[in-house]
Structures are given as structure tokens and as C-alpha cells.
Amino acid sequence: MIPETILDVGTGNGIWAYEMAIQLPSTRVIGMGLRSVSEQPGQPSNLEYIQTDIHQPWDLASDSIDLIFQRSMGPTVTTEQWNHIISESRRVLKPGGYIEWVECDVMHHRPGPIQQAFDEFVQQEWHAKGMDFYYTSTFDQRIENDFDLELLHHMTWDIPIGEWHDEIHGKQLGFINQDVQKATYRNKKSYYSSAWSMTSEDYDAAVQALLLEFEEYKSFSRFHCWLARKKNHDISSA
């Protein structure tokens, strides 16, 4: 069944909402987030963007959305903010409607000693900010404890970091994932160098050694996808 209305929460650059609007021309697609999304070439008429702070009440009617999609919000959301986002998602979702969350573990799996040092530092940062470093491990319980939501599926995918995988598809995904990791540490160079009182050269050497660790320890990232449905209490109690 094709949904009448889709909401992309934390839409970022709006690409996911744009692609969904192209694929589903009869569906109203809303991208909602803090950033202003630039006008896109050939933007379909069934797509709109709402620039707003998702941590404030949403200017959307209750029981008005068929499908809500949210991706990669964990690194910017505190535990209390999660409560608000899920509460507002539940409010605007139609009974019988669906929510899909896609997130990645913050920690790296099978890390080497350098990666462990990075992860331990990030964990301390998250704790200081009121964020749950292991939020993906408790997300099932968060959904199951919600009286109005029913958890339907929780799927996971392990993506290599580097080209250590035996299969060509795994190597390709690992190469892309390693590139993402490299870009992340490159973009945070000034921050980590300052926090750890490292010279630029020492930081570059640490990151280079980290890339070798990914191969040696066969490190990987774990991605999660949860699908939940809003219960229709009127129907279930009939």
C-alpha cells in the first residue's frame, strides 16, 4: 500500500525526501529539519521542506502521517531529546502508520588499541552531554516500553572497515566505509589535536596507523534498522 504522506525527520540535505518524492509521485513527502534545504533542480510538486527545530513541538497535525523515516540522528540527540522526538513522531503518526529508524553503533567493532582510545574519548564526551553512547543497544526496549508503538522488526548489517573481507561486495563496502572514517577523522583533526595536545604530524600518524588497524583487526561498523507501527487501540479493543 502506497502511503499518502511521508515525513523525513532530520532531513539534512533533503536527498532522501527528494528521491522518495520522485519514486512516489502520488505521495506527499515532507522533509523536516534545522537546516534550510536549497532549491533542487526539477523539485517535484509533491515535495516540501519545513525548516524547524525538531526538538521543539512540531507544526504538524496529529494522526496525519502514514510513514516517518529517521536516519543517523543518534550522534546529535541527547536522551531527553530522544524522548521528545519519539513522542512527537507518535503524535503525528496515524494509527496503523509506521516509523523506520536507521542508526549505526557509535563504537567500532573489533577495534585496535588506537580506535579503542578514540571510542573511549567519545564515550566520555557523550556522557558529559547527557547522551547514551550505547543507545542502539537500548532502542528495542525504548520502543517496546511505549504503550502506543509496536516493534515489528529490528535488522542489523555489519559493514567492514577496509578491504579485509573475502568477498568482493564486502571489499567494496569496506572501501567506502573506510573512506567515511578517514573523512570523519580528517574533519575533526583540529578538535582531537587540541583535546589531546597533539601536533598535526602526530595526529596524522595516529590516523594512518588507525587505517592499518582496521585491516589487522578486521574492524567493522554495525548498522541497525527498526520498524515500528502505531497501535490502533480502538480496533484492538473492539
Residue 126 within a domain: yes
- CATH code for the domain of 165: 3.40.50
First to last CA, the chain: 24
Residue 226 within a domain: yes
Task: Measure Cα distances from 128 to 35, 122, 124 in Å.
Answer: 25, 10, 6
CA-atom Rg of the chain in angstroms: 20
pLDDT value at position 35? 85
Residue 30 within a domain: no
Which pTM value belongs to this model?
Answer: 0.90
pLDDT along the chain (238 residues), means of 10: 95 93 96 84 90 95 97 92 95 97 97 96 94 95 93 97 97 97 94 92 95 97 98 63
Residue 14 within a domain: no
pLDDT value at position 41? 78
pLDDT value at position 43? 87
pLDDT value at position 166? 96
Alpha carbon distance 117, 185 (integer Å): 13
Of the candidates 1, 4, 28, 3, which has an alpha carbon nearest to the alpha carbon of residue 17? 28
Residue 31 within a domain: no
- Give the domain extent around 113: 55-236
Residue 35 within a domain: no
Residue 213 within a domain: yes
In this structure, is the dihedral angle defined by the CA atoms of residues 63, 146, 223 and 50, taken in order, positive or negative?
positive
**Contact 55/33 with Cβ under 8 angstroms?**
no
pLDDT value at position 234? 67
Give tens-digit pLDDT for 137-192.
999 999 999 999 999 999 999 999 999 999 999 999 999 999 999 999 999 999 99
Domain count, the chain: 1
Relative to beta strand 28-33, strand 93-104 is unpaired
Residue 92 within a domain: yes
